[in-house]
Amino acid sequence: MYEYFDKKRYSEIDLILSAGDLRPEYLSFLVDMLNKRCYYVRGNHDIVYDVEPPLGCVDIDGKVVNHKGIRILGLEGSMWYGGRGVEHTDWQMRWKVWKARFQIWRKRGVDIVLTHAPPKGIHDGKDLCHTGFGSFVKLIEKYKPRYLIHGHVHKSYGYSEEKITQVRETKVVNVQGKHVLQIQPRIRKKITKKEGWWNTVFKLRQ
């Protein structure tokens, strides 16, 4: 791979996000070649990560991290369909989201939700394995992230070719293959004494 990889094509990439089901050595290769931080969540097939995690990459499952002002929440795995991989029931996923609420509050919100599976009814399939999580729909409604980025559902499986769907204030993006996302951090408006802290607002950089 090294001799065929053109670093110039990706010179403007600032951060790598992996939505799962990628070989750990491939993520390590990207970090090595681009010299950029990589955040990931595991896909349902990524049980090998337990013994062979991708080198130089950060697992953000259940965590909210801040990358240069961009707040990212990670949630791994697919819908439970037998328990052979990284799988959760919707109740278990709802519990993971609930446990992350304090981190979201401390970070004053979340900009990107990085998941493996899609939200229920958006880009998902009819079989149990590829069914989306209803808890992700509620997460979108409550926290209004700017993006929810997922994988798991691929065109080659015969599913929808739609890659980007607007759901209220959130763009749901299926990153099958690869997807380059351009996003600026929210800038906190300076608050005067007259306005008071309770009127703190966030303005999106144009």
The structure tokens listed for 89 are: 């029931």
Compute the distance between CA of residue 4 and CA of residue 162 in angstroms, rounded to an integer.
Answer: 30
The structure tokens listed for 113 are: 């939700």
Residue stretches of the chain with pLDDT short of 70 = 1-4, 155-161, 187-206
pLDDT the model gives residue 59: 98
pLDDT the model gives residue 3: 61
pLDDT the model gives residue 203: 39
Q: Which CATH superfamily is 10-204 part of?
A: Metallo-dependent phosphatases (3.60.21.10)
Residues pairing with 192 in the sheet:
none
Compute the distance between CA of residue 124 and CA of residue 201 in angstroms, rounded to an integer.
Answer: 35
Compute the distance between CA of residue 120 and CA of residue 107 in angstroms, rounded to an integer.
Answer: 26
Compute the distance between CA of residue 99 and CA of residue 109 in angstroms, rounded to an integer.
Answer: 14
Q: Can you tell me whether residue 142 is helix, strand or coil?
A: helix
pLDDT the model gives residue 198: 42
- 């015969």: which residue's tokens? 158
pLDDT the model gives residue 10: 84
The angle that helices 90-99 and 134-143 make with each other, rounded to 10 degrees, is 30
pLDDT the model gives residue 157: 60
How many CB atoms lie under 10 A from the CB of residue 87?
A: 19
pLDDT the model gives residue 8: 81
One-letter amino acid at 76 equals: E
pLDDT the model gives residue 201: 42
For the chain, give every domain's residue range.
Answer: 10-204
pLDDT the model gives residue 199: 43
